């Protein structure tokens, strides 16, 4: 990246620009090499300016949410990593014919939106009790659990793209799949609008308590991780398959297949991204050779994996 681009970014974003920022500070795995440039932006306008500067300088931009579903390579990320700041985290409520519409900034915590909806006795997001991360990351992953997913309640999104600036997309133009969203090319999501219905106070609480109980009984709490590593294959559970091929507790460097839930890899002792990736490769290979099922990663492998990892 050129010195001129560095200067331009510094001039525009001041102290919010950091160089060689370790991404291990920004991921739930506590793993990840440096981002060439790290910038926090606080409005759609700033984001657009950044996209245009980056485009002009022919430098890629990667957006990170709360970093709970990514494995960042040990070599880090070439280009700019952008984090959406508080200015893009507002949560606004507005009555709608179905009940209530909530427009949440992409930087808002998913957990906060879920809890505020429950406090208003609104139904539709109970499935997400306990899912960490941001609204933007949740949308991109079509985050879900226990039979519900984000796409069930999304009404529209807004985002910014270098060429066109701010765009709005109604639900009819959005394509979702299992832990998948077909993100329009170059778009960074800035706002998501959900449609929620009035619900029964005790029933909402009961569904959330059930989700919490199921999560706490199965997931490794306390050790850094990134949630489910692999998607569940059709009609199966990735965790059951990994357990069945005998890999629970297997270690590679500082990473280990969780004893509590085989579809989680935990950072037990200063794991590197390469350790996690080696475990993932081993899992895919064993499950294929013993069960003839091809596991596909749910987590996003981010950054420069070309040489070494």
Judged by CB under 6 A, the residue of 51, 73, 134, 151 near ligand FAD is 134
Output the CA–CA distances (angstroms, integers) from residue 198 to 101, 124, 201, in the order listed.
11, 9, 9
Judged by CB under 6 A, the residue of 66, 103, 174, 256 near ligand FAD is 66
- Which of 228, 258, 272, 286 does the annotation list as catalytic? 228
What mask of x and - would describe binding to ligand FAD in positions 232 to 271, judged by CB under 6 A? ----------------------------------------
Whether 216 is a known active-site residue: answer no
User: Shortest Cβ distance from residue 198 to ligand FAD (Å)?
Assistant: 25
Structure tokens at 296: 């596909």
Q: Which lies closer to ligand FAD via its Cβ, residue 75 or residue 179?
A: 179
Q: Is residue 53 within the footprint of ligand FAD (CB under 6 A)?
A: no
Element spanning 168, H or E? strand 165-170
Judged by CB under 6 A, the residue of 32, 33, 65, 239 near ligand FAD is 65
Q: Which lies closer to ligand FAD via its Cβ, residue 22 or residue 99?
A: 22
255: buried, middle or exposed (CB in 10 Å: 19+, 13-18, 0-12)? buried
Number of residues that make up the chain: 309
Q: Is residue 132 within the footprint of ligand FAD (CB under 6 A)?
A: yes
Whether 92 is a known active-site residue: answer no
- Tokens 């950091």: give the residue: 18
Answer whether 191's CB lies under 8 Å from 89's CB: no
Assign residue 237 a region: left if phi > 0, alpha if psi is -120 to 50, beta otherwise? beta
CA–CA dist 18, 20 (Å, integer) = 7
User: Shortest Cβ distance from residue 1 to ligand FAD (Å)?
Assistant: 19
Size of the site for ligand FAD (CB under 6 A): 33
CA–CA dist 38, 275 (Å, integer) = 25
Q: Is residue 138 within the footprint of ligand FAD (CB under 6 A)?
A: yes
User: Shortest Cβ distance from residue 239 to ligand FAD (Å)?
Assistant: 12
Whether 228 is a known active-site residue: answer yes
- Which of 179, 191, 207, 272 does the annotation list as catalytic? 179
Judged by CB under 6 A, the residue of 34, 79, 89, 136 near ligand FAD is 136
Judged by CB under 6 A, the residue of 44, 70, 100, 257 near ligand FAD is 70
User: Shortest Cβ distance from residue 145 to ligand FAD (Å)?
Assistant: 4
DSSP lists the bridge partners of residue 181 as 176
Judged by CB under 6 A, the residue of 77, 131, 257, 276 near ligand FAD is 131
- Tokens 């306008």: give the residue: 45
Coil, strand or helix: which one is 199? Answer: coil
Q: Is residue 28 within the footprint of ligand FAD (CB under 6 A)?
A: yes
Structure tokens at 202: 């005790």
Could you tell me which of 136, 91, 95 has the C-alpha nearest to residue 114?
Answer: 91
CA–CA dist 112, 128 (Å, integer) = 11
What mask of x and - would describe binding to ligand FAD in positions 155 to 184, judged by CB under 6 A? ------------------------x-----
Q: According to DSSP H, which parts of the chain are helical? A: 3-13, 44-56, 110-119, 135-141, 201-218, 238-244, 273-291
Query: Which residues lie near ligand FAD (CB under 6 A)?
Result: 28, 62-70, 84, 106, 110, 131-134, 136-138, 140-141, 143-145, 179, 188-189, 219, 225-227, 300
Which residues are identified as catalytic? 179, 228, 298
């Amino acid at each position: 990246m050129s010195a001129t681009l560095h200067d331009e970014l510094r001039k525009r974003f001041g102290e919010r620009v950091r160089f060689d920022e370790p991404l291990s500070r920004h991921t739930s795995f506590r793993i990840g090499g440096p981002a060439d440039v790290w910038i926090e932006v606080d409005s759609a306008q700033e984001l657009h300016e950044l996209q245009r500067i980056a485009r002009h300088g022919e430098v890629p931009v990667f957006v990170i949410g709360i970093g709970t579903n990514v494995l960042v390579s040990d070599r880090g990320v070439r280009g700019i990593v952008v984090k959406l700041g508080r200015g893009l985290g507002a949560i606004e409520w507005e009555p709608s014919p179905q009940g209530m519409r909530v427009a949440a900034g992409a930087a808002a915590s998913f957990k906060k939106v879920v809890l505020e909806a429950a406090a208003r006795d609104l139904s539709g997001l109970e499935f997400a009790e306990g899912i960490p991360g941001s609204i933007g990351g949740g949308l991109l992953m079509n985050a879900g659990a226990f039979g519900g997913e984000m796409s069930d309640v999304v009404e529209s999104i807004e985002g910014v793209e270098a060429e066109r600036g701010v765009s709005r997309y109604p639900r009819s133009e959005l394509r979702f799949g299992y832990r998948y969203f077909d993100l329009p090319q170059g778009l960074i999501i800035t706002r998501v609008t959900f449609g929620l219905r009035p619900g029964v106070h005790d029933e909402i609480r009961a569904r959330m308590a059930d989700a919490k109980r199921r999560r706490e009984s199965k997931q490794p709490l306390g050790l850094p991780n990134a949630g489910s590593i692999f998607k569940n294959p059709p009609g199966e559970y990735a965790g059951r398959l990994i357990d069945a091929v005998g890999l629970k507790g297997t270690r590679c460097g500082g990473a280990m297949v969780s004893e509590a839930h085989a579809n989680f890899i935990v950072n037990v002792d200063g794991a590197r991204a390469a350790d996690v990736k080696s475990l993932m490769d081993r899992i895919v290979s064993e499950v294929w050779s013993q069960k003839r099922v091809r596991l596909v990663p749910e987590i996003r492998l981010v950054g420069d994996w070309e040489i070494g990892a």
